[in-house]
Amino acid sequence: MPTATPATDPLQQADYAASARADYRLLRRLMVFSLLIGCAGCFAFNLVDPDLWGHVRYGQEWIADGRLHRTATHTFTAEGYRWINHENLAELALAWGFDHLGVRGMLLAKCLLGMSIIGMMLLVASWRQIRLLTACVFLLLVAVNMKAFFPMRPQLLSFLCCAVMLTLLEAAFLHWRRPFRTESPALLPAGPTIDWRPLAFVPVVLVVWVNSHGGFAAGICIACAYLFGRFVEMLVDRRPGDLPRLIGLAAVAVGCLLAVLANPYGDGLVKWMAESLGSPRPEITEWAGPKPSDPIFWQLVALGVANAIAWGFTQKQRDWVKLAILVLVAWQAVSHLRHIAFFALLSGFWTPPHVQSVLSSLRKKAAEGLEIVRPAPAIKWAAIATLCFTTYIQTHSLASRLVALPVAGNQYPIDALQYMQDNHLSGRLVVSFNWAQYALAALAPETTVSFDGRFRTCYPQEVVDMNFDFLLGEYDGNRHRSPNSGPVDGSAVLRYGDPNLVLVDRTYPHAAEVMQDASVEHGGQWSLLYQDSIAQLWGRSSLYDTPNTATYLPAQRRDISDEESARVVQWPAFPRSEHGSGSVDANNLQVTRRAADGTITASPGA
- pTM equals 0.88
**Mean pLDDT lowest for which of 152-156, 550-554, 578-582?**
578-582
Specify if 107 maps to a domain.
no
Do 274 and 420 reside in the same domain of the chain? no
More confident residue, 79 or 579: 79
Specify if 433 maps to a domain.
yes
**Mean pLDDT lowest for which of 226-235, 490-499, 593-602?**
593-602
Specify if 498 maps to a domain.
yes
Q: Which of 279, 313, 341 is the last residue of a domain?
A: 279
Bridge partners of residue 594, in order along the sequence: 600
Residues composing the chain: 606
More confident residue, 239 or 73: 73
Predicted confidence at residue 391, as pLDDT, reads 87
Domain that holds residue 264: 154-179+191-279
Predicted confidence at residue 587, as pLDDT, reads 38
Predicted confidence at residue 237, as pLDDT, reads 81
Q: Which of 263, 279, 295 is the last residue of a domain?
A: 279
Query: Do residues 55 and 94 make contact, with C-beta atoms less than 8 angstroms apart?
Result: yes
**Mean pLDDT lowest for which of 475-484, 524-533, 539-548?**
475-484
Specify if 501 maps to a domain.
yes
Do 269 and 418 reside in the same domain of the chain? no
Tell me what the pLDDT averaged over the chain comes to.
87
Helices (H) and strands (E) in the chain, counts: 21, 10
Domain count, the chain: 2
pLDDT greater than 70 at residue 375? no
Instruction: Pick the closest to residue 555 from 544, 565, 564 (CA basis).
Output: 544
Specify if 244 maps to a domain.
yes
Calculate the CA 107 to chain-centre distance.
Answer: 14
pLDDT digits (tens, 9 = 90+) for 174-197: 988 755 444 454 444 555 578 999
pLDDT greater than 60 at residue 37? yes
d(CA 179, CA 146): 34
- pLDDT confidence of 541, banded at 50, 70, 90? very high
Please name the residues in contact with 178: beta carbons below 8 A apart, sequence gap of 6 or more. 191, 192, 230, 233, 234, 237
Q: Which of 223, 254, 279 is the last residue of a domain?
A: 279
Q: Is the dihedral of CA 397, 585, 74, 549 positive or negative?
A: negative
Do 272 and 412 reside in the same domain of the chain? no
Specify if 74 maps to a domain.
no
Specify if 228 maps to a domain.
yes
Query: Do residues 446 and 426 make contact, with C-beta atoms less than 8 angstroms apart?
Result: yes
Q: What is the mean pLDDT of residues 572-586?
A: 62
Calculate the CA 275 to chain-centre distance.
Answer: 23
The HSE-up count of residue 526 (CA atoms within 13 Å, CB side) is: 26
Specify if 304 maps to a domain.
no
**Mean pLDDT lowest for which of 18-27, 296-305, 499-508?**
18-27
Predicted confidence at residue 599, as pLDDT, reads 36
Bridge partners of residue 569, in order along the sequence: 407, 588
SS3 content of the chain, % helix, strand, coil (to 5): 55, 10, 35
Predicted confidence at residue 20, as pLDDT, reads 58
- pLDDT confidence of 447, banded at 50, 70, 90? very high
Do 273 and 411 reside in the same domain of the chain? no
